[in-house]
Structure 1
Amino acid sequence: MTNPPLHRWLLISLVAIAAMLVGRDISRAQTSESSDLSIELVDPKVLRVCADPRNLPFSNAKGDGFENKLAELFAEKLQKKLDYMYFPQATGFVRMTLGAHRCDVIMGFPQGDDLVQGTNPYYRTAYALIARQGSGLEQVATLQDERLKGKHIGIVAGTPPATNMAANGLMMNAKPYPLMIDTRFDSSAEAMVNDLMSGEIDAGILWGPMAGFYAKRASPPLQVTPLVKETTGPQLVYRIGMGVRPADQNWKRSLNRLIQQNQPAINKILLDFGVPLLDENDQPIGAETTTKSP
């Protein structure tokens, strides 16, 4: 026979637990719909950035890269302290940084990559051909150009333009550089530019931000031509945004607002580093058109 006082106590306890759970769910829902970022960020008072300690022009431990400068801009706008979780940007980067809740944003990530949730893009650029002034290749704008036949061209193995080079018969004399490297000890982009300056290769193909950065630092400066006229093969033009965790919806919205409100300042930082910026019509964005969005 059931004990009435005990039965009544169990019923009251179950009702209380149910009420607590409902209350907690309502509280979570209200929090997630507000601008409170405390449940999404490692530390709401700190902009914690996932970055590579040696990967110019993007970032380094000294804060010299353009992603460092963008992080400084955003930290100032958010009125937060800036801190970094540094890890070499190779296999496991996302898992060991953003995925492990050791930081809250990757400052540069290609749109459409499902490893992270992307913000709105803040720049658009392309793989580019770099060549020495006076080489006869300065005006080459497509890998189909006959002037490239028989030339020694540097290419990072496994990148999209390698497919286009193969389709145009340019791989026989190509010099490959490794894609997966430990950036603490090596730089394929820097090695390629050094080979170009010494004459070991006639031209090189690099991701736009790297091409622009190293070409600008070379003496004399190198010619950079974004490869926007390719008609076959994989796409060579990409939009770049920031990466956050899939669940961090409020944080994503905050970053989207910052991007929209600060596009001219963002463009200026990128242009100062030589990034070849493109608008939606593949036309270059220069200093006179810094208000343009990707």
Structure 2
Amino acid sequence: MRPTRSGSDKECHGRRHALASAGILALAAALIASAGPSRAAEGEPFRLCADPTNLPFSSDNPSQPGLYVEIGQALAQALAQPITYDWYKSYFGKRTVRVTLLGKQCDAMIGLPLSDDFMGPAVIFSRKFGTEGYALVTDNNRVIGGIGDLKGKRVAVQFATTPQNLLAERDDIEKVTVLSPDEGMKALDQGKADVAFIWGPVAGWLNKTTYGGRYRIQTTEGEGLSWDTAIGFAKTSKDLRDRVNAVLPQLERTIAELAVKYGLPGDRAIRFTATSAVTRQASDETVAKGAGGPAQSPDGTVGTGSGVVKVANVVAAEAKADPATAGPETVSSGKEIFNGTCAHCHGPDAVQSERRIDLRLLNHRYGDEMRTKFWTTVQEGRPAKGMPAWKEVYTDDQVESIYAFLLTVQSQSND
């Protein structure tokens, strides 16, 4: 017969059981702590912000996801986390960052400019993973060593970008204004330009996928021309930022291979010196640089930069007879001449947000004198205001075609 336990025996046994249980719990806690933050986050998705139609950077097409998406996939794998995506158009610029990243719809946005001035303290960054910037695109047998080599050349340059402002004061360089890297490459391919000064990553991608590698892509560097790129996080995500920083060095070779895969230029950059006016504009361009420079809205309008864009006031005094109704060919010809020459200051297709150089307001300003003002100003120029004389450049018929085009875009606003 087993002896019965006394009250003190039972109390002793209970204490031993409690101590053992506490020891097990302490051991479990220690094991969890030793696993580190990356183990604690395992199983949670790595939520990536990305543009669904922005190659070479990102795409929602699994067969061609883009550089940033593939970097995100490699990061998620290194962090032992599944990946999910929050798709949002990048042409909304900083609004995109506010809605997605700062709106807690995603955890990380790849490819932001590594700058303390970007979005204030609300956004924090990983370490640098690359450098991106504007590039000079030429035939493979042409090498550009600096801005002096552009003298006498026709240069396709993106509207409202640092390169456009950089070249604005160079009268010895013929500027051909374009709205996008794609238009710049087309101008080069169609013989309308000798050089294209456009967003390098997109130029490299188009050269690889559309033009069979027949162009030389030479990157540039300087204030407003190139930026170090990093991964952005909300300021509340310091732990995730630190974990990403811990694994980024392991992915250097992968990122380099992906850059080659998507055609990003990898040459030694040409140093350009930008003016102070150019540098003031730079931070506004960085947000949408993945999309090819300045932010462009869905209706196609583009924000203009400040600084050295020259002003052309329409004033003058020589009358000409009213033109006959211009046909579509005349209007088309005038539009082409305008976009090749005048758009540098007055905006592509005469779309310009600065009222003083908005040629859509000519009729509103001058009424019946519009034609006289236009002809005198174009022929004689206003050199003191940055408007050259064009009478030795274009024939009367060509000037007439520009006027015919401008008639089609006149605003009815009375503001």
CA positional deviation for 1:170: 6.1
Deviation beyond 4 Å, 4+ runs, structure 1 = 278-282
* In structure 2, distance between residues paired with 1:205 and 1:276: 14
Tell me the matched-pair count: 228
Tell me which residue corresponds to 1:142. Answer: 146
Distance 1:76 1:196, change over 3 A: same
TM-score by length of 1: 0.69
Confirm whether residue 133 of structure 1 aligns to residue 135 of structure 2: no
Give 1:127 shift: 1.6
C-alpha distance 204-280 of structure 1, shift in aligned 2 (>3 A):
closer
Is the contact between residue 151 and residue 173 of structure 2 (CA under 8 Å) also seen in structure 1?
Answer: no
Corresponding residue for 2:188? 196
Change beyond 3 A, Cα 1:281–1:171: closer
Aligned with 2:158 (options 140, 156, 160): 156
Structure 1's unaligned 5+ residue stretches are 1-30, 178-187, 283-294
Deviations 1:198-222 (A, max 9, x none): 2222221122212221122213521
Give 1:281 deviation, angstroms.
11
Per-residue CA deviations over 1:61-115 (Å, capped at 9, x if unaligned) read 1142111111111122122222111111022211111111111111111110522
**Post-superposition offset of 1:193:** 1.5
Matching of residue 114 in structure 1 with residue 87 in structure 2: no
User: What amino acid sits opposite 1:129 in the alignment?
Assistant: L
Asked if the contact 1:154–1:205 (Cα under 8 Å) also holds between the matched residues in 2, the reply is: yes
The structure, 1 or 2, with the larger RCO (C-alpha pairs under 8 Å, 6+ apart) is 1
Where do 1:1-294 residues align within 5 Å? 35=37, 45-63=44-62, 64=64, 65-91=66-92, 92-112=95-115, 113-115=117-119, 116-134=123-141, 138-145=142-149, 148-169=150-171, 173-177=175-179, 188-217=180-209, 218-228=211-221, 234-277=223-266
One-letter amino acid of the counterpart of residue 207, structure 1: W
Counterpart of 2:201 in structure 1: which amino acid? P
- Deviation track 1:163-190 (CA, whole Å, cap 9, x = no partner) reads 221243367532131xxxxxxxxxx222
Which sections of structure 2, spanning at least 5 residues, go unmatched? 1-32, 272-415
The normalised TM-score by structure 2 is 0.50
> CA 1:191 to 1:281, structure 2 compared with 1: closer, same or farther past 3 Å?
closer
Higher alpha-carbon Rg: 2
Tell me how far apart the structure 1 counterparts of residues 194 and 67 of structure 2 sit (CA, whole Å): 28
Q: For residues 28-85 of structure 1, what are the alpha-carbon distances to aligned partners after superposition, in whole Å with 9 as ceiling and x for unaligned?
A: xxx9xx73798xx9x9611111111111110011142111111111122122222111
CA distance in 2, matches of 1:44, 1:203: 50
**1:141 to 1:277, Cα distance in 2 relative to 1, 3 A:** same
RMSD: 2.8
